[in-house]
Amino acid sequence: MLGLIGYEGDSVSDALKTYADRVGLKAVRVTNPAAWTTTISVPGGDDVAMISPSGERLTCAVNRGLPSSSSLTEGENNDVLAAWWAGLAMMSGPVVNRPDATGFIPSPIVQSTILTTDVRQYASSLPGAVTANVHDAVSGTFQYRVGAQEHTVFAPVASVTRFDPSRTWRLMIAGHELIDVSVPTAGLLSGERRSAAAALRRMQACGLVFALVVFSRIGETLDIVAINPLPTLSHYGRQQERVHSSLLKWLRP
């Protein structure tokens, strides 16, 4: 049984449940994980049982973030989180956003991002149509786009990612497939598509199998400028059927 783990109102989990029902894959929304039973055998953790209140066992999962319960204390919610995170990490079946050894979901570093304490100086060096998104390097909060708006908030250290809006492509990793979701389709050249596919295969090897990845060409270089392991329907709505079909094929090979 497929577990679709996420908060109430998570449109992606709801849409995946609808699609799974349509194609005959038994799936359940997991919005109250405290009601489930999680058992992990030790030593080794080779046998993991995540059992629903109705007694059914998960065999695969899409992890969109574990909901907490308002009826539990913070300590009790932390215990539930620890049990689920361990169970998802050790489950033998396929898991989207499987927690790693440090307890985080797959989120590769964007190599084209730089850290700076002086965004103005960095921005002055950007060529032509190239702009940059500026985030707080500590919290990850988006602050502004260089040249696009007046900015009055400054982080002591900023994370800056440059890109060319006219030469930017959005692609979805969905299982084993790479799907162009740019609107309108920007048209990756064959060489660029090969470069993008090679980069995404490396991400898949690190456990990233359902994510939005944004590429931008600056000069002769094709850079990854953003990776979102928790995409929303708005990111891939026009390709929803294809994305969900590919993802479910990966979940039940």
pLDDT (tens place) for every residue of the chain, 253 residues total: 999 999 999 999 999 999 999 999 999 999 999 998 888 776 655 678 889 988 999 999 999 998 888 888 999 989 998 889 888 988 889 999 998 877 677 776 666 677 788 877 777 777 777 777 787 877 777 777 777 665 556 678 887 877 777 778 888 999 988 888 876 555 666 677 777 778 777 787 778 899 998 888 777 777 888 888 899 999 998 899 999 999 999 998 6
**Of the candidates 216, 234, 222, 236, the residue with the CA atom closest to the CA atom of residue 174:** 236
In CATH, the architecture of 166-251 is 2-Layer Sandwich (3.30)
Q: Alpha-carbon distance 53 to 198, whole Å?
A: 42
Query: Alpha helices, DSSP H only, in the chain?
Result: 11-23, 74-90, 119-123, 190-205, 233-236, 240-251
pTM value is: 0.80
Q: Alpha-carbon distance 196 to 222, whole Å?
A: 8
In the chain, CATH 3.40.50.1760 covers: 2-96
- 10 Å CB burial of residue 186 (0-12, 13-18, 19+) is middle
Specify the CATH number of the domain 2-96: 3.40.50.1760
The per-residue pLDDT for 171 is 87
In the chain, CATH 3.30.470.20 covers: 166-251
